[in-house]
Amino acid sequence: MRNFRNLSLCATAAIVALATQSSASAAEPAKFKIPAQSMQTALTLFARQSGAQLLFPYDQVAGLHAQSVNGKMTPDVALQRLIAGSGLKVTLNNKDVVALSLSNPAQKARGMEVASLGVTGLPFAAQASSAALSPQASLADEPAAPAIVVTGSRGQARTVTDSPTPIDVISGEDLTRTGKAGVFQALNTLVPSFNLPVRAGGATSTVIATGGLRGLNPDQALILVNGKRRHKTSLINAVSSLYNGSVPADLDMIPTSAVDHIEVLRDGAAAQYGSDAIAGVINIILKDDAKGGSANFTAGQNFDRSDGELYQADLNFGMKLGDNGFANFSLNLKKQEMSNRALPLADCSVTATTTCLYPLVNGALDPRDAAAVGTERIVTTSYGVMPSRSINTALNAGYDLGGVQFYAFGTYSQRRSDLWYSYRYPKDINNVMGIYPTGYRPHIMIDEEDFELTVGAKGELSGWDWDFSTGYGRNRARQSSEGTLNPSMGTLSPTEFYIGTLKSSEFVTSLDITRGYDVGGGNLQVSAGAQHRHERYQTFAGDEASYLVGDYIVSGMTPGAQSSAGFQPEDAAYMSRDNLSVYADVAWDPTKDITIGAAARFEHYDDGSGNTLIWKVNGRYAPTDWIAFRAAANTGFRAPAVAQQIYTQTTNQFRTVNGVPNQLLQIKTLAVDDPAAIALGAKPLQPETSFNISAGVVLTPLPNFSLTIDAYQIDVDDRITITSTLTGTAISNILIASGIPASEANTLTAQYYTNAIDTRTRGIDVVASYRHDLFDAVKMQWNLGFNYNRTKITHIIDNPAELASTGYVLFDRARQSNMTNNLPRTKLSISNLATMGDFTLSSRLTRFGGFKSYQNGVTSNGVTTYPNDRSYGAKWITDLEGSWQMTPMINIAIGANNIFNVYPDKNRASDVSATLGQGLYAGTSPIGFTGGFYYARVGLTF
């Protein structure tokens, strides 16, 4: 085989030498025009156009597919782009000869590239990303090749350090090594500027895995898959403290096993990609291997109480389709059990009856309460992570017909989330003793079906690379309630209800074109495109019994199904809208050290969002080989989600009211055109607009070291948020006047969405990476990431005239706190990947900064105080995983997240519910409050 390989190299050298017309230094820029095609033909064209002698294993590259290279650049850069993702690497490069070899001859890379031309989705180079935050799976002896990224650069791939805007690259292996249950949780660990609070409670908001970039809302970052816009969830984040009102895309519907890598663009990019990209872009690149695969099984549980069990199975495999195609399949099965950190209740007595389950009997304890004295009673079982079951699948496929490449990718998922609500005492006014003599714990089952499919084709016509695609995405969430009742119906009440269904869908059709020109001795990349998007959102009413106001109403009772009243017929709504957009994008590299870019986009909506024209400019300058400066400025926008305009539902939730915590309220979220909302001052929603400026420096003083520092300021005007909880006699009178029955209005707390505030966010990102050997035996990869982020409110709209006489504030102090200081201002991550032979140790230390929760003031005798303000300190979290490659096929790993079992600061004793035992920890803590988690994983590679 060695002789055959040498003969092959010699034959290749002879073929390429014949094709080579002249010899030129690799440092001289040259004009390249190499279409995407077979690797053998593409490398021969590269040799002819570059004037370089090229050696490569001709027999081994058969079946590999090369990337398109178009424009004027140095041969080094052109070659890296040509072979990106193929498994080929440069082993020798001088002015006389360039030699290539296949990293793993036993397993060739996928047969063709299929992702969008707009963000071409080049496969991740496993040994790349000196500027990536996360460590890589393998470390080479030679300096790592720079990661090739395509997000933020239309039509032309660039390296991480060459990009004029900051980008993090996270590999699929990094996601697996976190031991986390989904993509969102893994990103929270790996990206410092990403914040994902671990929620407990909060109704459907608990289901939505929502995290924000740079302190902004989740729906102010655009989610792409293979460069194509991902559809939104149908579950609106309606009742939580953080990110209230956001309607994001749910990345946890994408199986982790399908992810090749993730590119996180930390800069405004709405002019390039459209609405929502105010804070940045998260681009998920799917695996496209044409052979082989992997399987993993992970199991783990919490240190404390041995709860929160997680079982996860992942599968990925690829196959060839004929001679020029591939199909890659992925599957994820996940089972998450409940965790609970509620406290035991104090013993009840005839003088302290708040923790008595039953009323006194002739002035004495009920025998059942008396028998429980001296025992630990925990009546709340759901103060922590909620249980769920899910199955996620993904497909990525393509076929090359020569001049045209067809591709298709999509996902299909089902998820059941089981949301347990607080225990209702037998003596509770919302219980019917004839149905639940010992009380009950209502829970809601949310059954989601999520589907997305994108198909398209791309090729070249008259010198222009083109990409045409169309996609359809849908999320449907059916809600039902079990173990509950409607107390206003008495003993006639059912114990199970159909609450209603939410459905969201999007059709997206796009055309992108791009072409490189030789201008001024450099490469000018010209791109343009158009997109049509059709969005629909619909809510369906539940059972009549789920919202009925029955005949047994008494003062203080909340009618309807407990935990969440059903969608009423008047709540059921439907809305659709169309969006048309066109854009132009240019990037000019007059020299290899200078990049200048500009983009403009025009968007038209046929609803109240109207027309928007936005722009972006950026640039990069490298005065030396080891330092580069970059800067960008852009305007952006986010059109109000259809769901935010029509969503209406009534839910029960505990809130702090006038300084008193754990008050059960019936909260009705009103559509902006609802007569009751209009009576309370609601106005039609308008788009959010932004202005973003950033500047940074890239330092690469050593071959194995890089450091990037980027500062930014993001001004967002007319931010959409939900109002304060409007409740009390004055509000009830307004609602009654608008036609709501008094029996409902007197127990109702209303809120609606509005363009309430302007904000300014300032921050800085620092990302560093260093690779070295230790005693010539251990290969070390160090990564550091730091983010400082601060948001302040620059303007709040005046109270509407309708509320002027009520004394209520439309956007109160508590709401302001959730936008400004209820998130950590700093986040620091230091990680290391140490590899010695078949053993790998991954360690990560993360510091989550402190945060504060401000509440509304309490006024007494004309003096206002703030006794319910809380402050929480910074916490260090340590994650550790060790793995052993037992055989070429089998890998085992043991790890722990939060290995030192760190909890957030506790609330005051007065914050803990005396009757439920919950409230000890802040629900907005970025580290959650279930402590450490340990796990084991068995992996197979085939």
Mean pLDDT of 88-101: 80
Confidence (pLDDT) at 118: 32
478: region left, alpha or beta (phi > 0 left; psi from -120 to 50 alpha): beta
User: Which is more confident, 301 or 139?
Assistant: 301
Taking only the tens place, the pLDDT of each residue in 917-941 is 999 998 888 898 999 999 999 999 9
Confidence (pLDDT) at 522: 83
98 neighbors 26 (Cβ within 8 angstroms): yes
130 neighbors 704 (Cβ within 8 angstroms): yes
**Could you tell me where the beta strands, DSSP code E, fall in 520-608?**
522-540, 573-591, 594-605
Number of helices (H), then strands (E), in the chain: 12, 42
State the pairing for strand pair 221-225/280-286.
Answer: parallel
Mean pLDDT of 807-824: 87
CA angle 827–828–833, rounded 5-degree value? 140
Angle, to 10 degrees, between the axis of helix 75-83 and the axis of helix 39-50? 180
Burial of residue 807, with CB atoms counted within 10 A of its CB: 0-12 exposed, 13-18 middle, 19 or more buried: exposed
Confidence (pLDDT) at 811: 86
What SS3 state is found at 812? coil
For the chain, give the mean pLDDT.
85
Of the ranges 202-216, 593-607, 822-836, which one carries the lowest mean pLDDT score? Answer: 202-216
Of the ranges 19-23, 200-204, 514-518, which one carries the lowest mean pLDDT score? Answer: 19-23
pLDDT at 656 over 90: no
Taking only the tens place, the pLDDT of each residue in 241-250 is 788 778 889 9
Of the ranges 335-349, 547-561, 739-753, which one carries the lowest mean pLDDT score? Answer: 739-753
Taking only the tens place, the pLDDT of each residue in 135-151 is 333 333 444 555 666 67
Please state the pTM of the whole predicted model: 0.85
Number of Cβ within a 10 Å radius of residue 375: 9
Nearest-CA neighbor of 933 among 12, 456, 303? 303
Helix (H) or strand (E) holding 119: none
Taking only the tens place, the pLDDT of each residue in 428-443 is 999 999 999 999 999 9
What is Dmax (Cα atoms) for the chain? 107
Mean pLDDT of 159-176: 85
- How far, in Å, CA of 37 to CA of 128, rounded? 24
pLDDT at 179 over 50: yes
Tokens found for residue 257: 């096993």
Altogether, the residues listed in the chain come to a count of 942
pLDDT at 10 over 70: no
User: Which is more confident, 525 or 18?
Assistant: 525
Mean pLDDT of 857-868: 89
Taking only Cα atoms into account, the Rg of the chain, rounded to an integer number of angstroms, comes to 29
- How far, in Å, CA of 241 to CA of 721, rounded? 11
Contacts of 306 (CB under 8 A, 6+ apart): none
Confidence (pLDDT) at 126: 29
pLDDT at 566 over 60: yes
Taking only the tens place, the pLDDT of each residue in 869-922 is 999 999 999 999 999 999 999 999 999 999 999 999 999 998 999 899 999 998
Confidence (pLDDT) at 473: 97
pLDDT at 364 over 90: yes
313 strand-pairing partners: 297, 333
State the pairing for strand pair 890-897/30-34.
Answer: unpaired
Confidence (pLDDT) at 765: 95
Tokens found for residue 829: 């991550």
